[in-house]
Amino acid sequence: MADQPLNPVPAAAGLASFPAQGVPILRSVNWLGLWTLYAKEVRRFMKVQLQTIWAPSATTLLFLVIFTVAMGRGNRMVLGVNFATFVAPGLIVMGMMQNAFANSSFSFLAGKIQGTIIDYLMPPLNEGELMVALVGASVTRAVLVGCALALAMLLWPGVHLGVAHPWAVVWFGLNGAVMLSLLGLVTSIWAEKFDHNAAVTNFVVQPLSLLSGTFYVIENLSPLFQQISRANPFFYVISGFRFGFLGQSDIGASNGAVLNGALGLGVLNAVMALAAYAVLRSGWKLKS
Does a structural domain hold residue 5? no
pLDDT of residue 73: 60
Q: Which domain holds residue 196?
A: 31-282
pLDDT of residue 1: 45
Q: Measure CA 165 to chain center.
A: 21
Does a structural domain hold residue 139? yes
Does a structural domain hold residue 7? no
Average pLDDT over residues 242-265: 88
Does a structural domain hold residue 10? no
Alpha helices in the chain (DSSP H): 31-46, 49, 55-71, 83-104, 107-114, 118-121, 127-154, 166-190, 194-200, 206-210, 223-230, 233-246, 255-282
Confidence bin at 250 (pLDDT 50/70/90): confident
Q: Is the pTM of this model over 0.75?
A: yes
Does a structural domain hold residue 20? no
Would you say residue 71 has pLDDT above 70?
no
Average pLDDT over residues 198-203: 94
Q: Tell me phi and psi for residue 77, to 5 degrees.
A: -110, 135
Domains identified in the chain, total number = 1
Does a structural domain hold residue 2? no
Would you say residue 26 has pLDDT above 90?
no
Distance separating alpha carbons of residues 137 and 238, to the nearest angstrom? 21
Distance separating alpha carbons of residues 8 and 5, to the nearest angstrom? 8
Would you say residue 37 has pLDDT above 50?
yes
pLDDT above 90: percentage of residues in the chain = 53
Average pLDDT over residues 236-252: 90
Confidence bin at 18 (pLDDT 50/70/90): low
Does a structural domain hold residue 178? yes
pLDDT of residue 25: 65
Average pLDDT over residues 30-51: 94
